A and B are shown apart, each in its own frame.
Chain A
Amino acid sequence: MGLEVAANRGATPKAEILAGSPLAIRGMTVSYGQKPVVFSVDMTVAEGSMTAIIGPNGAGKSTLLKAALGIVQPLAGEALVFGKPLRSARHRIAYVPQRASVDWDFPTRVIDVVLMGLYRELGLLRRLRPHHLEKARACLKRVGMTDFADRQIGQLSGGQQQRVFLARALAQEADLYLLDEPFAGVDAATEKAIIDVLKSLRSDGKTVVAVHHDLTTVRSYFDRVFLINTRKMAEGAVDEAFTSENLNQTYGGRLATGQIDQLELAAG
């Protein structure tokens, strides 16, 4: 539904305004059964930024990403990627799903998973050339997993699995990186490795959006935040939007005051 609407309105003034944004979501509503998990959410991601999507459990963070990617069907609303409907801009997006969403017992090697990131480049039948393998190896190197290229994926630790997923996204050479809980259940070394890669992406002018659950690291990792609890609660630069007032509103008082005090929040 969202796609057709977006296609029809090709040259509306609004679309022009949003043309520059790597990801613009308008009026997105998604429901599972009769309960909307995401309700009428607007989001405009700034180019070259690193945005954290934060909110309590079940607040629709992952669902918003999936709806933007067309993985779940929205009830209303649409997403524009670099001003274009999703269909014609998929090649500019790299997606890192939640680690737990796949069966890690699948019979495949680390390098094969990274090569999956080249799917759009390789298509159905194009032959795998040495330079494809080199590219995949280079991506593994960026996440510090070179030595694991020939391992079976089931033998990896949680953090290593997450790094492989990130390497696969890197192989896509996209302009917009959407990550779903990239730091969930990973070790400290992995967390550091991932954030270093994400920051280097940003310095290359890429845009990064990540669902994030650890409020203590928001300030040091990201430059923009998007607070969501079914509705959009706040959006903006960390300095302006990551305030105790906004957090209270988003988490509905579920955060202890002591917790909030430690977050070096911007003055609200």
Chain B
Amino acid sequence: MNQDEAALADWQPRFAEWVKEAGPFLAKGKAKEAFAIYPWFSGEGDPFMSLAKPASQTRFGLITTGGYSIEGEQEPFRAGPSFDDTAPEIRTIPLDVDRKKLRIDHMGYDHRFAKEDINCNLPLDRLKEMEEAGEIGSLAPETQVVMGLQPNVTPLIQHLIPELVSRFKSDSVEAALLVPS
């Protein structure tokens, strides 16, 4: 079991209380006031795994919370933050995706930088170049895309993280690069 799962029991009542208290703020669009009283989750211990090989021999996987999906091929992400226990969605983006077809479903950040140059927060071209130059061993062919803005960490820890681990293990990923937006 992910060691953070053990800490959920203590956190869940505090989150339920926060949903009640923050609800009126969120309904008025006052996210700042709502998150000022958010009960930040703090797990037990500090998991740490050393890199087994130099980066030049390591297979990397990329995860982004930018909320991208492929126009015409994938459903958009559900809009807005999720407060219930629904399993968070994941989309996969192949390295050779037509950059023009990438749609951003995330409402929490300014999209104009990524519209100008997607490598601002989805650095597929940069990582491809680093692979070609031998700086990294290889890059997994699928980028895992999730949605930011997930105040309820329960489904994140119980569903999303095990699914990401399982996908990375099937792709033989040896180290992960995490890029929020």
Chains A and B form a bound pair: no
Please list the residues of chain A having a beta carbon within 8 angstroms of any beta carbon in chain B.
Answer: none
Please list the residues of chain B having a beta carbon within 8 angstroms of any beta carbon in chain A.
Answer: none
